[in-house]
Structures are given as structure tokens and as C-alpha cells.
Chain A
Amino acid sequence: MLIFLTVLASVLLILAIVMAVKLAGALRERARCAILLAPAADESLEDAIRRLNRTAEKSAVIPELESRFEHLIASCPFPVLLLDENLVIVDLSNQAETELDQPRKRRGLLEGLESHELEDAARGAIDTLQPAEVTVRLYAAGRRPFIARLLPFHSGRQKMCFVFLQDVTATVEFGQLRSQFAATVSHELRTPLAGIRALVETLQDPDIEAEDRQRFLSQIDREANRLAQLVDDILFLSSLESGATNLEGSTDLGALSDSLSEKLRPLAAQFEVKVRSSVPAGLVIPLPERMASTLLTNLLENAIKYSGRGSRVDLTGGREGNRIKLQVRDDGIGIDAEHLSHIFERFYRVDKSRSRHLGGTGLGLSIVKHVVESAGGEVRANSREGFGTEITVLLPAPPLSG
């Protein structure tokens, strides 16, 4: 009996010891997981994943890993997907659900995002466990371009892959705009140059009449001036945009408009346009004189050149509350509604052949818009075909003195 009890007691003791050791082991494992999973303060997500990749190889299953990720993923402020090794979407961020057209959990990547390119990249990343990056157009997101960053890792159980998506629509559009602008500028610069070269070639002929020689020379002069004006305008616009231009200062618009109307009289006569200026003396606008003069010259020249023979151009100005209103109105041919919304764009021409022939650079109104907006104002255009055009500039008025 005693022997039996002793044996029983030892068996129980051994069992208890085994249990205690097991429990301690489990607790240790839990503690180790917690340490592994707790992100260091300065650790990026990518570093954390790399660290987990290293430890996952050594350690057994890390059970909390995926539930931790679930939290992390859901709250990501951009579209993120977590894929398993069969490229099935295991998890996704809330942002992915709103930005993309219904990707769902437990769906294949191809079904969810409809991109074979992304699938190929994800397949490669998971097979090699190498991070990858690919630019794809996602039809599931209104065919917007995205950069997809693929970050594969080993969860201990299986290979998995994060897909971080970044919408790059703005970048791509900006790039297109830039190359389009470069193409237009070079085209605009080449046109007068081509004219000059052709004229020079003709002038090299020794038998040319003196009269023709003079005519060609003055034509070269005109083209060269246009080229110089164009380069000036482009540089002026870019300095305005870079913010390098000094916009501090104020100008008496009354005095300026009088002197400008005088200066533009020959041009007006050439186009048979009457210019009338009625800006009260002492009306001050918050722009340095050079800027104010550029603004007004561009507005008036534009009206004179494009309103048509026999029309009248009126420049009016005045204070309206805390703003200064400046208006250039003509009773000329007007601008079609289709073109009106574009006239402040660079190099936009309503009538391409005509405006080049008249010597415009295509930048005048664009400069007007930039100058006005840099000074915190706004510019509007109104027009009716056959009845004339009205351009209104509104500028913040300097505080009234006294």
C-alpha cells in the first residue's frame, strides 16, 4: 500500500513538473512573440518586416503575427493589400476598399484588382522573397496609375506579401504637361527662327534687288524682335512662377494708363482701333510700376490686336469696396465660348494663323493672369461673338490713407 502511494505520489510529482516546464515554455514563447512584434519606436514598417523575416526562419509559428497585421493594415492611410502565397487577398486596408472597385478578402489578386502586371510582379516577389516595385494602371480604380510596392515576407507558416499602392496620377499628369509645354515652346521658338533662316538664305543671293534686300531685312528684324519678345515673356513667366519676382510696391494707375495709351497710339492707328482711357488719377494698385505696366500693356495690346478694325477699346478703373476693378472692354469681333475658357492658357490661340501673323507670342494673357494672381487678385473674361470682349481684373486695394 505504502509502495503504491509512493509510486502514485512520484508519478503525480513528475506530471506536475512536466506541466510546469511546459507552462513556463509557453509563457516564454508568448513573451518572446510580444517582444518580436512590438515595433521599436524608430522602426519603419519595412524594417519590422525584415526583422520578422529573419526571426520567422528561426522561430516556430508566431500565432499573433497575422492578427497584429490585421490591425495595422486596416488603419493604413493608403491602399494596402496582404496576399498569401496563392495570391489571395488575405487582408486589406479600409483605404483599399474605398479607392479601388470592390477588392474583397479571400479573392484572388487578379479578380480583385484586374491587373495581370501586378499579378506577375506579386508572383515574382513571393517566389523570390525579394521586394519589388511596379507601375500599373488600375482599371479597378478608374484606370488611374499607381506605383505598387511589393514587400514579401515569411510569416512562419507560409510566404506572404504586402502590396502598398500609391496613386501617382498627379505626378504622371505633371510629367505630361511638362513635356507638352516643352514641345510647344520649342515649336513657338522654331517658327520665327525658320523664317529668319529662309530670309537670310534668300539674301545670300548676290543678284537680289536693293529694294527686296531692304524688305527682307526689315522682315528679319521683325521676326528677331518677336523671338526676343517671346524669350522675354517665357523668362518673365517663369520668374513669376518661381516667386523670384519682386511684387512689393505700388503704382498710380491713372498716370500709367495715360502714358501707356500715348505709347500705344501708333499700334492703335495701325489696327484702326480707338483707345480711350478713363482711369481716375491717384488710383493706386499694389504692384511695382514695371509689373503694372506689363499687365496693362498686355491687356491693351491684346484688345487692340484682336478686336478687329474700326472697333473701340475702353479702359476703365475704379475702387470697389476693398478691391480695385480694372476693365478693358472692346466692341470687336468677340471670342467664341469654346475658346473663352482657354484664353489664359499659354500659347493658346483662338485663330492660329491670324495671331501669329499679327506678331503675338501667345503668352500675353497668361502673363496677365499670373501677375494678377501673384498680387492676390483675379481675372475674368466675358465675351459674346460679334459683340465684343470684356476682361476684368480685380486686385486687392491698398488701405485708404488718411
Chain B
Amino acid sequence: MTRQSFHEGLKQLNHEILRMASLVVEAVDLSTQALLTGDRKLANSVIAGDDDINELSLWIEGRCLALQARQQPVARDLRLLHVCLLVSLHLERVGDLAVNIAKIAKRMERTEGAEPYLDLLRKMSAQALEVLRQGVKAFADRDAELAGKLEEIDEPIDEMFKEILDRLLHPTDENRDVATSEWATHVALASRYIERIADQVVDMGGRVSFLVTGELDSTYFDRSEADINNQFGE
């Protein structure tokens, strides 16, 4: 394989990751829509679509390994391959979380008085989708600054997650009838999954920062890993 085809290989890898990201964004959007509307058909389409995401993830993993083994890249190219692999794993995980949400969407019954919870879930979903989109953009543009901002965009999601749990754990007179234990479990899990999606993307942002700067940020990774910096930085 010549250098030319190595760069072609990287380009193709990058392209497939963006393609996977587009599928994952859609999966998150549709699964949360299904959760909010109770649309089982939509939920099923998300569950069925996860195979494509997993397949792409495997393809990307294989390609990363092959390029590393054959080309022995160094410095930025090595970081790129390493980060591509990790980003695809993060995205794959986000896809799985979307499937989890879709499964809850299928099981969760509609209940009167659920509106305040659904409202919070709606806001959380919209925000998580935004974090995800910006995360993908940071990767696509190799934008370390945007990657660094992801944590900030993620903050309201954590707040809303806490609020949902708080409401479920301390029911008032108004919502006491709503929170049957089964329903409450579904809502708690769904909000947890949405929150995890955003966390995965924030971690993904850490990988993007590393790609651009060559420095492993201690906010994202253990300090014990920090000495790897010197070996991989340019």
C-alpha cells in the first residue's frame, strides 16, 4: 500500500465514521420521539436499525487495525487511527443506548399526569441530540475548542436527570398516583440512558481534543495515563 492509498484509506475511514454518526443521530432522535409519543413502530425501526450501526462499527475497527498494522503510522496519523477507533466505539455505545430507550418506549404505558416528566424528557432529549451533533461536528472539523465546550452543553442534562429522579423519589400529592413503581422505573431508566448518551459524547470530545492537541486531558482520562502524552504527542 502506497502513501497515497494510505491517505485514501484515512479519508474513507473518516467518511464512514461520519456516516455512522449520521445513523446514530437519527437513532437517538427517533428513539426519544418514540419514547415521548409511544410510537411502537418508530421504536421498532430504531431497534432494527442498530444492526447497520454495529456493522459499520466493526468495519471501522477492522479498518483501523489494518491501517495501523500495514502502515505503522506515527504522530498525528497514529492518533487519528486511535481516535477513529475510540470515536466509533463511543458512537456504537450511543446507538445501543438509543435501542435501550426504544425498548422502554415499547413498554411504557401512557399515563395521565405524566406530562411534567415527559416535558423534562423532551427537553433532555433535545439537549442530548444537540450535544451529539456538536460532538460529531467537533470530530468532523477537528475542532478542539468545540470539543471542550461539550461538557458545558451537557450540564443542563445532568440537572434535568437529577430533577426527574428527585420528583420520582419524593412524589407530591399531585403526582402520587402517576408514579407507579413500574412506570417510575421506566422513566428513571429512560432519563438515565439519555444522560449516558450525552456523557459518551463528552468523552468522545476528549478524544477529539487529544487528536488535535496531542495532549491527553486529565479531565477525561486518569492521571496515570498522562505520561502517555510524551510518547504520542508531536
Contacts and interface: CB of A to CB of B under 8 A. Distances in A.
Interface of A: 108, 110-111, 114-116, 119, 137, 139, 143
Closest 4 CB pairs of A and B: A116-B22, A111-B140, A110-B18, A116-B19
B20 to A, nearest CB: 9
Contacts of A114: 18, 21-22, 25, 133, 136
B29 A110 contact: no
* Interface size band for B: 10 to 19
A119 B20 CA distance: 12
Interface of B: 15, 18-19, 21-23, 25-26, 29, 129, 133, 136, 140
For the complex, would chain B's binding face be called helix, strand, loop or mixed by DSSP majority? helix
A344 B107 CA distance: 34
Nearest to B19: A116
A111 B21 CA distance: 10
Nearest to B29: A143
B188 to A, nearest CB: 25
B133 A139 contact: yes
A137 B26 CA distance: 9
A137 B140 CA distance: 20
Contact of A116 (B23, B129, B133, B140): B23
Contact of B19 (A119, A137, A139, A143): A119
Contacts of A137: 26, 29
A110 B15 CA distance: 8
B15 A115 contact: no
Contacts of B22: 110, 114-116, 119
A110 B18 CA distance: 7
Contacts of A108: 15, 18
Nearest to A120: B19
Given A139-B25, A143-B29, A111 B18 contact: yes
A27 to B, nearest CB: 41
A197 B108 CA distance: 32
A368 to B, nearest CB: 27
16 contacts: A108-B15, A110-B19, A111-B140, A114-B18, A114-B21, A114-B22, A114-B25, A114-B133, A116-B19, A116-B22, A116-B23, A116-B26, A119-B19, A137-B29, A139-B29, A143-B29
Contacts of A139: 25-26, 29, 129, 133
Contacts of A116: 19, 22-23, 26
A143 B133 CA distance: 11
Contacts of B25: 114, 139
A285 to B, nearest CB: 39
Nearest to A108: B15
A33 B159 CA distance: 63
Give the one of B22, B129, B136, B140 with max A CB within 10 A. Answer: B22
Contacts of B23: 116
B44 to A, nearest CB: 18
A139 B21 CA distance: 12
B230 to A, nearest CB: 32
A116 B129 CA distance: 17
